[in-house]
Amino acid sequence: MDRIPLVHASLGEQELAAVAEVFASGWPAGQGPKGKALETELARRYGVGGAVALSNCGAALHLAMLALGVRPGDEVIVADFSFPAPAHAVRYVGAVPVFADVRRETGTVDPAAVADLVGPRTVGVIAVDTVGLPADYAELKAITDRYGLWLVEDAACAVGATYRGVEAGSLAPVACLSFHGRKGASSGEGGALLTADPALAADARIRSSFGIGSIFDQAQVVGLPIPVFTEIGFNYKLSDIAAAILLVQLERIGELLDRRSAVAARYAELLADEELVTLPRVPADRTHAWQTYMVTLDPGVDRAAVATELRAQGIGAGHGTWASHLQPVFESKQSCPVSADLFRRNLAIPMHAELSTNQVERVVEVLRPALRTHARPGRNQEGAA
């Protein structure tokens, strides 16, 4: 049986050659020549004053909260329908995540919901480019400007996407990227913080290395500089091995994204007349990075049974992403009905740059009858929440 995985990172000979170079250099650790080259390239690509290479996007979000001065008891409004990394980051600094519901058509945070949640303790908003689709930044900025709040873009899934011609990662004054194995550009694990403000970048960089500067840099100076620890930091550095891989991946991002986009276009053609699914919609003012291809199943379809059938036939399937407020760790009493409904009904099907046209066709050939087999009679009467 031809297995068709949900996820497959596009890492090959070019990346191996870049890693071999790092091995030969003798500096595999972080904040070395490759890490610096990556930061320079990220700053150039995104046209920002500061880019910090980090171990993952969760670390970038954490450092963003610290650099923005979020304090215990502050409230931060976060997009609900997402891998809950933004809410985790808010909790790392003792603040309170306030969950904002999303737009049904895009799954991105609903600016009206954000505006309704602003209160006396609100300090900022973390918007998410949901599985690769940018949120409504013009409307979000209008709200954060009106109330004097900061805005962070969680572009973890969105490398290569655009909103009104501007690349995801440059859509808010602070943005966080992920280079996890599932993302459009990957080094296995990895992340970055991008910001227009060089002081904020410097704050994040120093905290990412236990509060002291680059050990590589210190080794280059004549004399014996002894770093002084003046605050509690973390080890959130990206290794130079990962940075070397990412320098290659960023060069390939156009080609890899074209391949993902072709897969999405083929799914859209093949499923256009399928009444048991709603396909992802991309508004005219933005483009998708297609980290994930999620369809929303008709309310009468048994999603677990469909996914089980796909998996039994060697086809990867998943639930997509999460309704954050429903995760027990946050003990939230809020209600985000659209997010909860998408969390219940969405199905992720294989999406990556290595999928062949035949494989995409096979996914649909298995999916269509599975939907029929597992649709309860009278399904159309069951309303979505």
Ligand X SMILES: Cc1ncc(COP(=O)(O)O)c(C=O)c1O
Structure tokens, 152: 């962070």
Cβ proximity to ligand X: between 85 and 317 the closer is 85
Cβ proximity to ligand X: between 178 and 249 the closer is 178
Question: Which of 39-47, 52-60, 95-103, 241-249 is the region at the interface with ligand X (rule: CB under 6 A)?
Answer: 52-60
342 touches ligand X by CB under 6 A: no
Helix or strand or coil: residue 166? strand
346 touches ligand X by CB under 6 A: no
Judge whether 308 and 71 are in contact, CB under 8 Å: no
58 touches ligand X by CB under 6 A: yes
Judge whether 156 and 132 are in contact, CB under 8 Å: no
Unique residue bearing structure tokens 């997010």? 339
Alpha-helical runs (H) found in 101-239: 111-117, 137-147, 198-207, 215-220
Binders of ligand X among residues 1 to 40 (CB under 6 A) are none
- Nearest distance in Å: CB 241, ligand X: 16
For ligand X (CB under 6 A), the number of binding residues is 13
Question: Which of 80-88, 193-201, 296-304, 347-355 is the region at the interface with ligand X (rule: CB under 6 A)?
Answer: 80-88
Of the residues 7, 85, 113, 152, which one makes contact with ligand X according to CB under 6 A: 85
Structure tokens, 142: 């209008």
Of the residues 78, 100, 156, 243, which one makes contact with ligand X according to CB under 6 A: 156
128 touches ligand X by CB under 6 A: yes
Of the residues 31, 56, 108, 122, which one makes contact with ligand X according to CB under 6 A: 56
Give residue 96's region: left, alpha or beta (phi > 0; psi -120 to 50). beta
- Nearest distance in Å: CB 41, ligand X: 18
Tell me the C-alpha distance between 162 and 168, whole Å: 5
Residue 339, Cα to own-chain centre: how many angstroms? Answer: 17
Cβ proximity to ligand X: between 103 and 362 the closer is 103
83 touches ligand X by CB under 6 A: yes
154 touches ligand X by CB under 6 A: yes
Tell me the C-alpha distance between 367 and 373, whole Å: 10
DSSP state of 171: S
Tell me the C-alpha distance between 371 and 108, whole Å: 26
Which residues sit at the interface with ligand X, rule CB under 6 A? 56-58, 82-83, 85, 128, 154, 156-157, 178, 180, 191
